[in-house]
Amino acid sequence: MWNVLTNRVFARLFAAQVVALAGTGLLTIALGLLAFDLAGPAAGAVLGTAYAIKMIAYVCLSPVMGALVARLPRRLVLVCADLLRMGVALCLPFVDTVAQIYVLIFVLQAASATFTPTFQATIPDILPKEEEYTRALSLSRLAYDLENLLSPALAGALLLVMPFSGLFVGTALGFLISTLLILGTTLPAKRDSVTRPFRERLTRGSWIYLATPRLRGLLAFTMAGAAAVAYVLVNTVVVVRETYGMGESGLALAMGAFGAGSMCAAFALPRLLTHLSDRWLMGTAALTLALVQLGHAAWLGTQGPLSWEHFLAIWALSGLLYSAIMTPSGRLLRRSAHETDRPAVFTAHFALSHACWLLTYPLAGWTATSGSQTVSLIVMGGIALVSALLGYKLWTPAPKIVPHTHFDLPEDHPHLKAHGGRGHAHVFVIDDEHHVWPTSG
């Protein structure tokens, strides 16, 4: 997986991603402390609203911003988005009302909704070989997991020597370094020989996405992952504190187990995807994740809580399965669009996948609060199960036509008798499941 970093352009972009993620991790912690400083006991409501604003910006603004910047050079788009995010981070220490937090978070997430799809759509042009691109996806997944694990530790160390407002400076520094790395990198130019009106640029990615069977299946599998993992991300703190009676160290262990499972998948997937189809791997992971969650609900409802060790094992398995669902998505997007349409399709996936999270985040919290942890597990696991099965149905394997003749076969080969001898040409049909069968033609 690491040898993909020998590509200097990708290595610089990956470094930019890592430092930006580190800054974002510091921002998450600093924002929580700022919300408590301004709102006290109502800080949870403030953060919940801020995260809802984040998802709304992603879902609603990413297609608009993607259409607006479609004709601009990639490096210009990435640099401007990073600079805007840096500016917002530097403004946050000076806010004194909750409303100002909401406005700045909206601006910051609008910039992220522009940066991320553009960044993701650039990588396939830098690494055109699918094997290398798969390694890059796994490396990117690993970066997200490490950010989740290391950013809290980094923030804790910094808070020993500075007030929490200093974390916003660390966030801005991350975005600044990302900007400098991108400025020093020559990115592939866009190839767009067709000039399209704004309305078509706005909707083209979604039309391509929803018209492609494998991408419709991807969206269903994404919903399965979002439903199951929304429970983990929203309710782990409550389960650890109330069910197991543990403090912050217990929460760190639980989320660390989830992240460790995800990292294991990131290391294993490049090799697995050379032998398994994306549809089989993602579908199996989504279905298993749903069944794990429903099994957890059944045990909790009949036997009571799992032991702490088994709980951590379930969280690690959930992280592994979630990563197996999400990591190959870039491969599918890359295959499903021409180079000129790739940014629009990546933007459509960015918006639609975050729409899944916009639905599942509040549902996971509401079902646990209004019902119980068992009820929440049943509801979210049920949604994941239905979505996984729907993904299998929507993703009909697409045949690939391979021309084939008989001139290289010996006279006594049984294939010649079955298909009319050397003079008869036909094709092989190979689908996404790697099944092969001949057809006349």
Instruction: Tokens for 120, please give them.
Output: 């993701």
Note if the pTM is more than 0.85. Answer: no
pLDDT score at 139: 82
- Give the separation between CA 313 and CA 254, rounded to whole angstroms: 9
Question: Per DSSP, what are the bridge partners of residue 427?
Answer: 403, 439
The CATH homologous superfamily of the domain defined by 1-189: MFS general substrate transporter like domains (1.20.1250.20)
Higher-confidence position of 415 and 286: 286
428: phi > 0 → left, psi -120 to 50 → alpha, else beta; which?
A: beta
- Give the separation between CA 239 and CA 259, rounded to whole angstroms: 17
On whether the CB atoms of residues 381 and 293 are closer than 8 A, the answer is yes
Instruction: Tokens for 262, please give them.
Output: 């995800």
Q: What would the mean pLDDT of 191-207 be, rounded to a whole number?
A: 68
Residue range 346-363, pLDDT digits in tens:
888 888 988 998 888 888
Instruction: Tokens for 145, please give them.
Output: 């997991």
Q: What would the mean pLDDT of 317-339 be, rounded to a whole number?
A: 88
Order across the sheet with 436-440: list the strands.
400-404, 426-430, 436-440
Which of the residue ranges 21-25, 180-184, 412-416 would you say has the lowest mean pLDDT? 412-416
On whether the CB atoms of residues 363 and 230 are closer than 8 A, the answer is yes
Q: Where are the domains of the chain?
A: 1-189, 199-396, 400-440
- Whether the domain at 1-189 and the domain at 199-396 fall into the same CATH topology: yes
Residue range 18-64, pLDDT digits in tens:
888 888 888 877 887 787 788 776 665 676 677 788 888 888 888 88
Mean pLDDT over each residue of the chain, to the nearest integer:
82
Which of the residue ranges 31-35, 299-303, 422-426 would you say has the lowest mean pLDDT? 422-426
Best-predicted range by mean pLDDT (271-280, 287-296, 430-439): 287-296
pLDDT score at 191: 60
On whether the CB atoms of residues 217 and 392 are closer than 8 A, the answer is yes
The CATH homologous superfamily of the domain defined by 199-396: MFS general substrate transporter like domains (1.20.1250.20)
pLDDT score at 271: 85
Residue range 278-287, pLDDT digits in tens:
999 999 999 9
Which pLDDT band holds residue 436 (cuts at 50, 70, 90)?
very low
Task: Fill in the DSSP letter of residue 185.
Answer: S
